[in-house]
Amino acid sequence: MLSVVVFLPLSAGLVLLALPRPRDATAAWTWVAVAALDLVLVLGLWAYYPSVSGPGPGGFAYEERVLWIPSVGASYHVGVDGFSLPLAAMTAVLFLACAVHSLRRPRRVRAHAVLFLFLQTVSLGLFSALDLLLFFVFFDLSIVGMYFVIAGWGHGRPARSALQFFLYTFLGSLALLLGFIGLYVASDPRTFDMVELAGQTPLEGRGLVGGLVLLAIGVGLAVKTPTVPFHTWLPPAHTDAPAVGSAILAGVLLKMGTYGFVRIAMPILPGAWSAHAMVLVVVGVVSVLYGALVALAQTDFKRMVAYTSVNHMGYIILGLGAAGLATGTQSDAASLAITGGVTQMVSHGLLTGALFLLAGVLHDRAGTYDMGSYGGLAARAPRFAALAAVAFFGSLGLPGLSGFIAEFQIFAGSLGPVPVPTALALLGILVTAALFLRALQRLFLGGPGPCTDRVGDLSAREGAAIAPLLALSVLIGLTPRFLLDRVEPAARALAALVAG
């Protein structure tokens, strides 16, 4: 069943590719239909999800395992737990939103749709992979797919940005591969299986080797996340990517980095994680502050949102690092921080996806992201202004929206183990609030700018793509239980591994 969910988009894409010259409308609507069907299937998985505990053996639901390369102990092994299911659901929602948003017919509709269907399979596959090699395959393919999205449908200097994106993140992925090979060589019997490796924890008690492997894996994931100092590929990639590409890049692909930490680095290298958690905490806090301050200085709307992603990902790294530093008696705090981190991944996916789609709306109408060119949009485009305001407030962590739930849990969980860094990171919230309010002011209030009269209000299609994302964020903000019930058991099990 899980494999069907994962490979449905790709097979639909192949069918689309095989059709002799389908009409553009056929391709666009097929994409919407497939994305919707896949979302329904994921919701089915959610509804019938049995209570499992992860990350050890038997901790996963809907497990499937087929030997792939037995001689190196690699298998096609998939399954979901409380970490991956919410991310898979968020992925399905975001891809549906992008499909709806793309009904306006971009250039080369069919290739566009096929590429995104491919990316959806890759993303869902990554979030359900339970084998390091399978994880790596999807990790690398996501880079290839996004490269073509930016190079083929971007604007500005897409070729250059796409190349930079590919080279930079590919370097990260190879660091990741080296780490995986290190784990493989250390394991006995040798295997790439995450569940078995989490049971073996092969590098426990081997300080230097464990640290080096964690370094390789950590760098690989940190490039993808991205954290300071590996974030420099992100702003140009976002600036030149098409709106839907940015939404997927920020909403889904960045999560692959942070998800890798909770899925691979923490359960398989718990000792090394605890030993080096302080590095993670510092990287997290620096990302929070640096991302927020640089975002504050931006005049380009899309670059600003891109830098707030660095800030938001920083909170997750802070929470995960703090969980590693929690002592045995603080296991509850660690669990809280991890739950907050996973909630932040979902929340950031929804909110940033909406923000990038809104940025695309602006660019479609006036051809620029420069905030100084706009002003007084609230009067001209009230629906656009209303949705943007919700997304802004959600991103700055206003209570009642998903961002608050996530960040509150991260701070509450981290304060015990690492009080000073957490207090510093709180300043990040302040800066983010300032920058979003300032952006709100520049775009929507005041006198009209030179491009204001070119901006009409949201069409029904754009509304239908963006509004559900924000509605979900509000839903999580008001009644988070349905999400937390899934995340918490897995977070408790992981906290028990790394804390103390």
Partner 1 sequence: MSGMEGVDPVTLLPELVLALAAVGALLLGSWTPRRRQGRVRLCVVAALLVALAAAVAAAATGTGAASGGHTVDTITHAVRVVVLAGVLATVLLAADAFADHPRESEFHVLLLLAALGTMVLAGASDLLVLAVAYLLASIPLYALVGFAKDGTGTEAALKFYLLGALSGILLLTGTTLLLGAGGTTGYEGLAAALPGAPRALVAAGVIAVLAGLLFKAGGVPVHFWVPDVAEGAPAPVAAFVTTVPKIGALAALYRLGDQVLAGAALDWVLLAALLSAASMTLGNLGALLQTDARRLLGYSTVSQVGYLLMAVAAAGGQSAQPGLLFYLGAYLAANLGAFAVVCALRTRTLEDHAGLFRDRPWLALSLVVCLLGLVGTPPTAVFVGKLALFTAALDAGLGWLMVLAAVNTVASLFYYLRWILPLFRAPGEPPEAGDRPGAPDRWSTGVAVTAAAASLGLGIAAGPVLDLL
**Taking CB under 8 A as the rule, does residue 215 contact partner 1?**
no
Reduced DSSP (H G I as helix, E B as strand, rest coil) percent helix, strand, coil of the chain, to 5: 75, 5, 20
- Minimum separation from the CB atom of position 116 to partner 1 (A): 16
Residue 82, token pair as written in the block: 């409380």
CB atoms within 10 A of CB 67: 11
Whole-number Å distance between alpha carbons of 498 and 482: 26
- Minimum separation from the CB atom of position 127 to partner 1 (A): 17
Residue placing its CB nearer to partner 1 in the complex, 192 or 392: 192
Residues in region 100-119 near partner 1 by CB under 8 A: 107
| Contacting residue, 116, 184, 393, 411, with partner 1 by CB under 8 A | 184
Residue placing its CB nearer to partner 1 in the complex, 27 or 137: 137
Residue placing its CB nearer to partner 1 in the complex, 159 or 420: 159
N-to-C CA span, the chain: 38
- Minimum separation from the CB atom of position 476 to partner 1 (A): 34
Binding mask 31-70 for partner 1 (x = CB under 8 A): ------------------------------------xxxx
- Minimum separation from the CB atom of position 76 to partner 1 (A): 10
Binding footprint of partner 1, residue count (CB under 8 A)? 33
| Contacting residue, 4, 159, 297, 379, with partner 1 by CB under 8 A | 159
Q: Which stretch binds partner 1 (CB under 8 A): 144-152, 223-231, 249-257, 357-365?
A: 144-152
Reduce the DSSP state of residue 49 to 3 states and report it.
coil
Whole-number Å distance between alpha carbons of 430 and 310: 15
Whole-number Å distance between alpha carbons of 271 and 360: 44
**Taking CB under 8 A as the rule, does residue 166 contact partner 1?**
yes
Residues in region 412-441 near partner 1 by CB under 8 A: none
Strand partners, 129: 78
- Minimum separation from the CB atom of position 487 to partner 1 (A): 30
Reduce the DSSP state of residue 67 to 3 states and report it.
strand
**Taking CB under 8 A as the rule, does residue 181 contact partner 1?**
yes
CA-closest candidate to residue 238, choices 138, 165, 317, 287: 165
- Minimum separation from the CB atom of position 192 to partner 1 (A): 9
- The single-letter DSSP state of residue 143 is H
Residue placing its CB nearer to partner 1 in the complex, 85 or 162: 162
> On the CB side of 393, how many CA atoms lie within 13 Å of its CA?
13
Positive or negative: CA dihedral 153, 42, 12, 467: negative
**Taking CB under 8 A as the rule, does residue 133 contact partner 1?**
yes
Q: Which stretch binds partner 1 (CB under 8 A): 129-137, 372-380, 395-403, 450-458?
A: 129-137
Do the Cβ atoms of 283 and 228 come closer than 8 Å? Answer: yes
Amino acid at 268: I
Q: Is 21 left (phi over 0), alpha (psi -120 to 50) or beta?
A: left
Residue placing its CB nearer to partner 1 in the complex, 182 or 218: 182
**Taking CB under 8 A as the rule, does residue 175 contact partner 1?**
yes
Helices 419-444 and 301-325: crossing angle in degrees, nearest 10, is 160
- Minimum separation from the CB atom of position 150 to partner 1 (A): 11
Strand partners, 274: none
Pairing of strands 61-69, 74-80: antiparallel
Residue placing its CB nearer to partner 1 in the complex, 105 or 438: 105
Residues that bind partner 1 (CB under 8 A): 67-72, 74, 107, 133, 136-137, 140-141, 144, 147-148, 151-152, 159, 162-163, 166-167, 170-171, 174-175, 177-178, 181-182, 184-185
